[in-house]
């Protein structure tokens, strides 16, 4: 396992970090299975575990808490808030009112008195940066969180939050957690350069592109991944974007074969090769998934392999633009771009 400094915090984290979204109902993972995955990940050198309050409506946090009991101090523990937690209209977002409550709920579920990294899961257009940063700064000063970060923010919002922190003498986001993979490279044009400019740690989620780069999706083979059952439209080969992804996967598989690598090693090695990226978040559902992903822990792709990848998916290109999660609201809601 390799380790890198998380932004400018001085905290050393593994270049492969464990994402716990699949713990519980989402991945049909039992507590026993989740604990076994955590055990194997830690044994393999992973020292950062990332979850969120909305994963399984709190179930993931509870399972992570039980799995890390007795060894909390050896783990960089991260969670998130802002996504809806039930139907109550104020049990979501990034207002002070909700963040204070949401963090207490997360700490209770995790069974800890603090988290190392507390992340705003999505930008909340209805709440000012000053409101959110002020609440996070107070939570940090109270000792309940050590650092705070953003997740899937558009680049301009990352910049705006940095300026708001400076202008109001508040703590700042020290990390960003974007979606990034060989098939979704759009953030190379904006988010990653901004992260480098402001010294943010970057925790890349979905480095296997929701299973497209796991090796299980190939031409002429029935797609049976768990994600294809939950999100069938993302694997519908009648859609041009999915056809383009499959064509790219076939070419990438050839590059991997010629380089003596698995598709997973190629995919994770690509993400961790970018100088702005601190760690790739892996989200295994089984111990076998974890084993194949940890095999990429020491993968360093040579320049000719990275060049071959660039020739297949051009830098800064998203092959499935409709699946971007940081699209500005005005591009999604016509009322926001019309008088």
> In this structure, are residues 105 and 81 in contact, taking their beta carbons and an 8 Å threshold?
no
Closest by CA position to 203, among listed 29, 59, 18: 18
Q: List, in order, residues 6 or more apart from 39 with CB less than 8 Å away.
A: 67
Closest by CA position to 268, among listed 283, 247, 287: 283
> Measured between alpha carbons, how far is 63 from 252 in angstroms, rounded to an integer?
36
- Catalytic pick from 55, 118, 147, 173? 55
Three-state secondary structure string covering 88-119: CCCCCCCCHHHHHHHHHHHHHHHCCCCEEEEE
> Measured between alpha carbons, how far is 38 from 282 in angstroms, rounded to an integer?
12
> In this structure, are residues 181 and 209 in contact, taking their beta carbons and an 8 Å threshold?
yes
Give yes or no: 3 in active site: no
Q: Which class for 141: exposed (0-12), middle (13-18), buried (19 or more C-beta within 10 A)?
A: exposed
Bridge partners of residue 176, in order along the sequence? 150, 202
Give the catalytic positions in this structure. Answer: 55
């Amino acid at each position: 396992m390799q380790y890198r400094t998380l932004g400018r915090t001085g905290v050393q984290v593994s270049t492969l970090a464990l994402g716990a979204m699949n713990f519980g109902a989402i991945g049909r993972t039992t507590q026993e299975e989740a604990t076994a995955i955590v055990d194997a990940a830690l044994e393999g050198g992973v020292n950062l575990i990332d979850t969120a309050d909305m994963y399984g409506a709190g179930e993931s946090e509870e399972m992570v808490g039980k799995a890390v009991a007795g060894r909390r101090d050896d783990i960089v523990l991260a969670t998130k808030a802002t996504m809806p937690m039930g139907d109550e209209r104020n049990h979501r977002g990034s207002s002070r009112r909700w963040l204070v409550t949401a963090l207490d709920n997360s700490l209770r579920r995790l069974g800890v008195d603090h988290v190392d990294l507390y992340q705003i899961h999505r930008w909340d257009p209805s709440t000012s940066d000053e409101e959110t940063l002020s609440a996070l700064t107070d939570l940090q000063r109270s000792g309940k969180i050590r650092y705070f970060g953003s997740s899937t923010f558009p680049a301009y919002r990352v910049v705006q939050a940095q300026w708001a922190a400076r202008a109001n003498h508040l703590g700042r986001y020290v990390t960003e957690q974007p979606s990034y993979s060989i098939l979704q490279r759009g953030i190379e044009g904006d988010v990653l350069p901004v992260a480098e400019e402001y010294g943010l740690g970057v925790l890349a989620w979905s480095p296997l592109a929701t299973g497209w780069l796991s090796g299980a999706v190939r031409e002429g083979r029935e797609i049976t991944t768990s994600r294809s059952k939950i999100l069938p439209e993302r694997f519908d080969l009648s859609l041009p974007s999915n056809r383009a992804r499959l064509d790219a996967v076939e070419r990438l598989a050839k590059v991997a074969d010629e380089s003596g690598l698995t598709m997973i090693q190629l995919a994770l090695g690509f993400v961790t090769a970018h100088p702005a990226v601190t760690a790739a978040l892996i989200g295994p559902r089984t111990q076998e998934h974890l084993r194949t992903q940890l095999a990429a822990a020491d993968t360093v792709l040579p320049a000719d392999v990275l060049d071959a990848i660039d020739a297949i998916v051009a830098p800064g290109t998203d092959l499935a633009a409709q699946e971007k999660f940081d699209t500005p609201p005005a591009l999604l809601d016509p009322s926001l771009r019309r008088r």
